[in-house]
Amino acid sequence: MIQEDKTVKITVAGTGYVGLVAGVCFAEKGHDVTCVDVDENKVKMMESGKSPIYEEGLEELMQKNNATGRLHYTTDYKSAYKDADAIFIGVGTPEQPDGSANLSYIATVSRQIAESVEQDCLVVVKSTVPVGTNDKVEQFIRDFLTRDVKIEVASNPEFLAQGSAVHDTLHAARIIIGTESKEAEAKLKKIYEPFGLPIVSVNRRSAEMIKYACNDFLALKISYMNDIANLCELVGADIDAVAEGMSYDARIGAKFLNAGVGYGGSCFPKDTKALKYLATQNGYRLRTVEAAVDVNAEQKTKLFHKASNRMITFQNLKVAVLGLAFKAGTDDLREAPSLDNVQLLLESGADIYAYDPVAADNFKKKYPEGQIEKGAIHYVQTPEEALDGANICFIFTEWGEIKAIAPEMFKEKMQIPLVYDGRNIFSIEAMKNAGVEYYSIGR
């Protein structure tokens, strides 16, 4: 009996978090994958086994599948698209000033596909797009087709978290596929069969909405906990104790209950605003999502304003900033609370010494080392360097290297042991016993 070949020839457009992780994981599961990007230097980097993004486990899988010959990279989209069985679109849909999603990259890739494909093909949109976009993509591709081939478009939103993207893809709770035909559904199921994961098959618009509904629900949960944390401070409750009590309720769950200085990254800020915009365009107000956006905006700089009330001025003070990435495990700075706070500190004349184990180079692109505004910023290699002689310390990311600091170190290294912790890393009692003046969120 001849065994059916389960290998699918896949092309992935875009090599950011969504596209590159998807492509590498498809190759890991036995498919033949070509990743397309417009940047020649980026392609050469990936061919050498180097990942352009910091993501745990990604580079090792790239090197492994580069060696097997299942994973390829190119800038030549025409050759990559022409004979692919399936083309996954993983390009960015950045936020526009009005909160809507910028679909220009989706449109560019769609036209390139239409003008390049030479055989029947399934086009799968992994990018987060407003409900109804896949209908437009399918029509757009058909409008620009140059050959007599059949094209179908499916929705396959991703649910990976930066810092654990590879694990989240290979061990997802479920795969969401949105299709408008049994044939397209069967093709997508074949692609995901080697993953051995539950598949939820719905229509395209439902798949698009599932992505937004999930991300915005998590953003709501974070903002709710931050709102409760702010109230805890006023009434003398402890948000950590409150969260622990809530976590045992199966209806609530234990995840996303940590209070802090707000959410950031590439998804939650953009997706909450996009869904809010979509609702407005349809004559509806998503009041809960609007509230989450407002709470998060205020939460990001809560500690700066608290510190401003404590200090006369930041002018010429040495300020230690520990953590720049929006979360641990990534070098991504999109919507990171550190950005808002560093800008305010520089405008206030602070002399900042910043530490982050992986995101410092990206931060330098936004804030080059040296004099900026009324203040200055310097980048250091260890938390201890940042703390040495500091008058005040802000913590914005829960890196292991920061968690490992002994409370006594703040007292020993800092000129004034004054710490504002935006991630509730340290025990209030331990910091007090070490002689540190310590402020956190909701405690």
Positive or negative: CA dihedral 215, 216, 218, 219: positive
Write down the CATH number for the domain with range 211-298: 1.10.1040.10
Confidence of residue 2 (pLDDT cuts 50, 70, 90): very low
pLDDT at 4: 58
State the DSSP H helix or E strand holding residue 353, giving kind and residue range, or none if neither.
strand 351-355
Quote the CA–CA distance of 46 and 63 in Å, as a whole number: 9
CB 407 within 8 A of CB 430: yes
Quote the CA–CA distance of 298 and 120 in Å, as a whole number: 50
Instruction: Identify the DSSP state of 95.
Output: B
CA triplet 43, 46, 49: central angle to 5 degrees? 155
Nearest to 383 by CA among 399, 364, 367: 399
216, amino acid identity: D
Quote the CA–CA distance of 51 and 118 in Å, as a whole number: 31
Residue 1 has pLDDT above 70, yes or no: no
CB 243 within 8 A of CB 258: yes
Residue 3 has pLDDT above 80, yes or no: no
Average pLDDT over residues 121-132: 96
Q: Which two tokens stand for residue 236?
A: 């003398």
Give the residue numbers annotated as catalytic, written as ranges: 267
More confident residue, 15 or 6: 15
Q: Give tens-digit pLDDT for 234-271.
A: 999 999 999 999 999 999 999 999 999 999 988 899 99
- Same CATH topology for 9-202 and 300-439? yes
Q: Where are the domains of the chain?
A: 9-202, 211-298, 300-439
Quote the CA–CA distance of 414 and 394 in Å, as a whole number: 12
- Residues of 267-303 as b/e, b for ≥16 C-beta within 10 angstroms? bbbbbbbbbbbbeeeeeeebeebbebbebbeebbbbb
Confidence of residue 346 (pLDDT cuts 50, 70, 90): very high
Residue 424 has pLDDT above 50, yes or no: yes
For 178, phi then psi, to 5°, come to -120, 115
Average pLDDT over residues 11-21: 95
pLDDT at 266: 83
439, amino acid identity: Y
CB 343 within 8 A of CB 362: no
Residue 397 has pLDDT above 60, yes or no: yes
Q: Which two tokens stand for residue 8?
A: 């699918």
Q: Percent helix, strand, coil in the chain (nearest 5)?
A: 45, 15, 40
CA triplet 256, 267, 226: central angle to 5 degrees? 35
State the DSSP H helix or E strand holding residue 125, giving kind and residue range, or none if neither.
strand 121-125
pTM for the model? 0.91
Average pLDDT along the chain: 96
Q: Which CATH superfamily is domain 300-439 in?
A: NAD(P)-binding Rossmann-like Domain (3.40.50.720)
Quote the CA–CA distance of 4 and 142 in Å, as a whole number: 31
| H-assigned helices in 201-284 | 204-235, 239-247, 268-281
Q: Give tens-digit pLDDT for 370-390.
A: 999 899 999 999 999 999 999
Q: Which two tokens stand for residue 422?
A: 């935006």
Write down the CATH number for the domain with range 9-202: 3.40.50.720
CA atoms within 13 A on the CB side of 292: 26
Distance of CA 316 to the CA centre of its chain: 34
Residue 404 has pLDDT above 90, yes or no: yes
Quote the CA–CA distance of 382 and 364 in Å, as a whole number: 16
Q: Which two tokens stand for residue 67?
A: 């060696």
pLDDT at 61: 97
